């Protein structure tokens, strides 16, 4: 049998499309969140979906000194995180499948549960010499998981009676903290009333958490124990007023593969949706939707940075290539030069929020959809010690 092996990563000069992750920016953003919420609350860092495309292991090691625990989506992510940060507390934010409950319990991860039946199933598979910490989710308006509000106290009492379980935290989720302040304030007030009722049953209930990134920015006074920081840790604020305190951590880079002179009336890319109106110098770049550059940016007015200048995207985004207009650059562009699809170059910047708006999506999808075929380059390794 032939031994399997991974091909070595291309040298920096040979990379055609890659992401660059600034670990120092991640640490900076964690400190900014901590300063905003104050000393009473800790940070639960959400690192699901490969840390929003930033690399789970490297991101977790960087954030570990700044956070109390981590949140992931599933058992596989929990195991990867624990391997990167031994001993870390890990919350499973999504329901585990029935066959996953036993390893979740045996390996000491902390599941979010939505009712008594789920809790009883965990109790049945938890080893006799273990106490499994669980987070009871209350549905106050998200509609995705959790115990209904009127049933919260009764379910809490029933779960407390189960052997080998401890309700470590009570949580809820905010569906529109960045869009609907009156509803969110009502939701937080109702969750506060539920917490008071539960703590009347168990005065030693350790933790509560309700605030996502938008919530912790807009309602820091509701952060007594933990906040679930996600997007904000990666340097993007869901509320514009906080953006200046953050440093975007991820940028997306590619290279010029070809430069061509096109006559007026030349069609560019599939469908001939763009026709040149003047003599045009067009640069073909080594990136497309297979690398995570959204196809919906086609015809949106999007730009790419070349030599620190915005260059308009021409025609449709294809699987492997895009074409940009470099006619107005004062200096010639040569094959092999670097271009920035997302991030900064010189004084110019293309932000994740801008790309998301033009593509008709959200920054979360921009980050998690990045599949740069030459991988990631993490810089600032001293922050990941």
Q: CB–CB of 310/348 below 8 Å?
A: yes
DSSP labels for 256-314?
A: EEEEEEE-TT-EESGGG-EE-SS-EEEEEES--GGGT--GGGTTTT-EEEETTEEEEEE
Say how many C-beta atoms besides its own lie within 10 A of residue 103's C-beta.
Answer: 14
Q: Tell me how far apart the alpha carbons of residues 176 and 199 are, in angstroms, rounded to a whole number.
A: 27
Q: Tell me how far apart the alpha carbons of residues 193 and 350 are, in angstroms, rounded to a whole number.
A: 43
Is residue 289 annotated as part of the catalytic site, yes or no?
no
Q: Tell me how far apart the alpha carbons of residues 81 and 60 are, in angstroms, rounded to a whole number.
A: 7
Distances (CA, A) of 279 to 265, 275, 282, 326, 384: 9, 11, 10, 11, 49
**Identified catalytic residue from 48, 52, 289, 293:** 48
Rounded to the nearest 10°, the torsion over CA 269, 274, 278, 280 is -30
**Identified catalytic residue from 122, 270, 289, 307:** 270
Distances (CA, A) of 229 to 43, 191, 317: 7, 19, 33
Distances (CA, A) of 349 to 72, 248, 302, 372: 30, 11, 12, 19
Is residue 122 annotated as part of the catalytic site, yes or no?
no
- Give the DSSP H/E element, type plus range, for residue 383: none
Residues with a known catalytic role = 48, 270
């Amino acid at each position: 049998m032939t031994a399997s092996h991974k091909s070595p990563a291309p040298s920096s000069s040979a990379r055609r499309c890659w992401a660059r992750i600034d670990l120092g920016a991640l640490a900076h953003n964690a400190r900014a969140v901590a300063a905003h919420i104050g000393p009473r609350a800790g940070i639960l860092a959400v690192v699901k979906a490969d840390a929003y495309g930033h690399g789970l292991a490297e991101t977790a090691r960087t954030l570990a000194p700044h956070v109390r625990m981590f949140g992931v989506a599933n058992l596989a992510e929990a195991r990867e995180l624990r391997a990167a940060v031994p001993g870390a507390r890990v919350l499973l934010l999504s329901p585990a499948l029935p066959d996953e409950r036993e390893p979740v319990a045996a390996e000491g991860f902390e599941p979010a549960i939505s009712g008594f039946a789920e809790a009883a199933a965990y109790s049945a598979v938890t080893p006799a010499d273990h106490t499994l910490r669980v987070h009871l989710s209350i549905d106050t308006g998200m509609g995705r998981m959790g115990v209904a509000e009127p049933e919260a106290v009764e379910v809490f009492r029933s779960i407390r009676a189960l052997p080998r379980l401890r309700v470590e935290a009570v949580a809820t989720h905010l569906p529109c903290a960045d869009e609907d302040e009156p509803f969110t304030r009502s939701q937080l007030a109702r969750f506060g009333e539920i917490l008071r009722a539960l703590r009347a049953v168990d005065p030693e209930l350790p933790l509560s958490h309700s605030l996502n990134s938008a919530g912790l920015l807009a309602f820091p006074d509701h952060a007594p124990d933990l906040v679930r920081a996600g997007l904000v840790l990666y340097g993007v604020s869901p509320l514009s007023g906080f953006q200046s305190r953050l440093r975007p951590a991820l940028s997306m880079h590619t290279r010029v593969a070809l430069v061509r002179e096109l006559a007026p009336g030349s069609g560019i890319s599939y469908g001939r949706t763009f026709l040149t109106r003047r003599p045009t110098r067009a640069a073909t770049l080594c990136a497309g939707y297979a690398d995570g550059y959204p196809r919906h940016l086609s015809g949106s007015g999007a730009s790419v940075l070349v030599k620190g200048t915005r260059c308009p995207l021409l025609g449709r985004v294809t699987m492997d290539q895009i074409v940009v207009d470099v006619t107005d650059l004062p200096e010639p562009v040569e094959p092999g030069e670097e271009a920035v699809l997302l991030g900064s170059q010189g004084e110019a910047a293309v932000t994740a929020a801008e790309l998301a708006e033009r593509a008709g999506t959200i920054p979360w999808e921009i980050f998690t959809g990045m599949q740069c075929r030459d991988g990631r380059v993490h810089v600032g390794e001293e922050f990941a010690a």
